[in-house]
Every structure is written in structure tokens, then in C-alpha cells.
Structure 1
């Protein structure tokens, strides 16, 4: 009788193994499908205005199933019909990672969550763009997201979780007189400013090295930059988040060398310090690639579990339990 009970229990355990593995794999697949679920849209989607008038368009984000920590927004439009006057962060994203930049036919900004422990979820305004109508249109012109637009999720900073974008269409009326298109003074990005550190404002926070998308062969790359002299600079280095502080010297120079080797792959750095003039927090960001050839894979710090082959797992577990069961039954038979 004891042998029969033992066999029944063993069979139930063996049946439970593949069922459990199957359910876990299904949850993983659902999570993988949900990951690229964030969308961006421009509201209002349709704008009617007249020549010379200014108007605003909101960049609306729907995070879907993701916990968003960064959004790099880039817009493009017809510079003969529209002029971008400004682009600022929206209420949903309190941190400006890269200051807003407007130029002929483009506008961009990078915004972030308060910190990684407070990611952004839900629907809200990520940024606000102020436009001026320059000339009448025969047909609506589009304001659309550029291909460089990027949204990073918590634990998935190196993967773009953006799945779709919706543009806005602008119709301009107001006579047939020719309008001289004023070209705004180009705003230097943090990366461009970093190459001109000698002329940089003493209140600016810059990352000079590594440069954006630069490939470095050192697992312990030295990060350097500029900040107000004597100020405390906070650095956040990802993939695996590391937060450290350094102090700018009398000339405004600062540097930091990681104490733990960075794995091969893409990493990002955000530097921030308080501007002694305005009292506001100034930030700068960049990303670089570690290619030390150490054979390590880039850490994505992903919340999505990485699974092996389910069939192989079931086979190995089943084989192990069968061997265990045969040993137990053999011993039980000898004892009886």
C-alpha cells in the first residue's frame, strides 16, 4: 500500500513540473509582448491657425505596461511654414536631462522621471512645444516624431519601448504675402557644448568625455566634464544604476573613474549640479559604448526574465525526478 501511495505522489509531482514551467513561460511571453507598449502622440492632432499666430502642441505619452524613466523627444516639421519657438518638459516629467533645442525644422528635448524609484506610469504630458505660423499652407503640414525619438523603461534603458507615434497636422491661413522665414539661432546640444568647454558658461554642467555614442576599450573609462567651480556634481551611470558625487575644482573641471568594471555594451551618464546663479538644477547627459572585448554581455538590468528552451527544461527536470523515483522505489523494494 505504501508503494502505491509513493508512486501516486511521484506521478503528481512529475505532472506538476511541466504544468508549472508552461505557466511561467506563458507569463514571460505576455511580458515580452507588453514591453514595447508605450506610445507618443501630438495634441491637438489638428490645428487651424493664421499667419503670425503662435500656438502650443503637447507631446502626450501613454506608458502602457511600462515604467518609463527617460524620454528623448525629437520632432520635425516644414521650416518654411512653421517655426519652433521653444520646447519644455511637461508636468509628467519633472527632470530635464538635455535642455530643449530648437532649430530650423527641428525641436528636441530629453526628459526623465524624478528617479528610478519613481518611474512614470499612465498617460500625461511629456513635453510642450510652442510654434509660430510663418506662411499660409495649401494643404495641412505635418509635425511628426523623428526616428531618433527614444523611450526608456525601468530596467530596459538600452531598449526602446516606444511602439508607435501619432503626428499633428497644421493648417495655416492668412493671405498670399510672402513671409521672410526667420531662422532661429541654433542651440548647441550638450554634446556639441562639450567640445567647446573652454567657452562654456561657468554655470553650465557638461560631460566632455566620453562623447555621445563613443566606443571605449576600457572597462573603467574616466568620465570628465565641467561644472560651476566648487560645486557638487551628482553622476548617475547606467545600465546597472550607480550614483556617485564628485566636486568640481577651482577651474570647474571634474572627473570620475568607476571602481567596478563596466560590462560590454551601451551605458548612459547623467550629470547634475545646482547653478549658483539661478539656484536651479542643471543637467547634462550622454551615452557611450564599452567594447573592452572581455566577453561579457551588456547588462540591460531588464525586468523581463530571460528563459531558456522550455522543452529542454521539462525534459531535464522529468529525467531527474524519474531517476530519483527509481532509486527510491528500488531502495523501498529492498527494505520490504
Structure 2
């Protein structure tokens, strides 16, 4: 699925989509939602344009989900359940300090969420803001995670992981390569990549292959979608440890080459140069320890005063 905007999908379209998918009818979804059939149809069309795929097959007696729609429905239900869960466990506790973290969806879903209970412990409530744009610390953000070369002016940043990139594919797709690991063989398959295609260019250039994206290749805004598309056999991708670790460990994808390259960019934890509140500094310390950074680098990052970037 390739969406046509860098923003997240509008919440009202997700709710309408989930209602129509559950009921199998735009008319029934309109009645339940208290809107017109035309309003439902327009919202679904809006979401399909954002996704870049058809989510429903329109039939005489109603609508049915396409394969892409079925996969997205599962994700949409999870997201709406999370947003609609007003149980006390999702609210900041009186004895917990709130830390606001701006993070890309890929890092959140592939690395952060599974570690949140450990990182929050009993004294911190993490408020996660999913976004791609540069974090605006004047809006109350305490910390941010972004991918780039760094450093950046006006903030302090610390690279999290040195990524060794290696081609991966679903097991069935890997079999089609028949053990071949050269660059030209890789190009027999659709190339999957996120918004930065430079990594593939660099990997292929080692064997003097110039890469220009082709019609069969697929671009996704978020790396978690790259992993999902790869696991479903849509093509070949580059593993970005540790974000791809779970997919590799589960066998959803397998390495199809032994040759790795260092990624030319990295995810960074970013903080404002101004003094951090104590809870944000403590969360940063836990986060960086979990990411495997040494204590000297952690101490320099959370220290008061202005850093070097």
C-alpha cells in the first residue's frame, strides 16, 4: 500500500472504513454512523486515495474487502481499539510523570511498543506522538526520534544504531532466486523501499549496477510497511536492524545475500538544547540503555547545558 500523503489518515475515514468493513455495506455503515450513503462513499474514496489501493470491491448486494482492505482492516481495528480504550490504564496516573515522545510510525511499531512497559516502569507515562515532520519542541515535545545524517542546529542528537543493510525476502520469493545473490538477480524482483531509495542505490552500486526506480518497484512512506509488503511476497527489501529483527527471527522474511553495507543515515534520539525535565532525562537514559548505547554517551546526551549537536 502506498499512500499519497505524508500525513496520517484522517480519523473519521478510519472509523467509517471499519464500520463499512464490519457491516459489509455502505448503506448500513451510513445508518449506524448517522450520515448519508454519499458521505460514507466519499470518505472511503478519500481513504483509498490516501492508501493508493482499492480497499473494497463494490458489488450489487454490498461491498467486500479486497486483500489489501482485509490487511488494513486488522490494523485499523487495533488502532481504533487503542484510541477508544478509556480504561484507566491508558490515562496518566497521578503518581506518574508524563513524557511526550515524537516518533515515526516505523520505530514505534517495530521497536518501541514492545519495550514500553519496561521503559515506563512505575513512574513514567509515555505519550507517543506519531508523525513524520520535524519535531517542534515549542509544542511541548520532550524528545523525538528521527532518521537522518545529523547533527541538527538548535538541538542535541545521538545516533541510536549503526545499521548493516542486507537484502531480505519472503521465503517463497527467496526460493525464486535459487541461491543467486548478485545484484542483477535481485533486480529480477520488485524492489521495495521507503521514502529514501539511496540505500538500494548504494547496495547495488557495489557491483557497478546503477539503480533507477522502475514501474514494478514499490515505495512506502514507512519502513514498517516495507517489512509487511516484503513478508507478503511483494518483492525484495533491505533489512534495517534492529527494526527488521523480529521479522527475521520469526521467519517471515529471510536474508537472500550475505553482503551488507552500512546505512548512510541513522535514527537519532533528539532533545532540545534547553534543560530537560527530570522525567524526560530519566526516560532518555532508559531508552538509550535499551538501545545499547554506552554510559558515557548517555551521560553526555542527558547532561544539562548545550551540547554539540
TM over 0.5: no
Structure exhibiting the larger radius of gyration computed from Cα positions:
1
TM-score, reference length from structure 1: 0.24
More helix by share: 2
Q: Which has the higher contact order (CA 8 A, sep 6+)?
A: 2
TM-score, reference length from structure 2: 0.26
More strand by share: 1
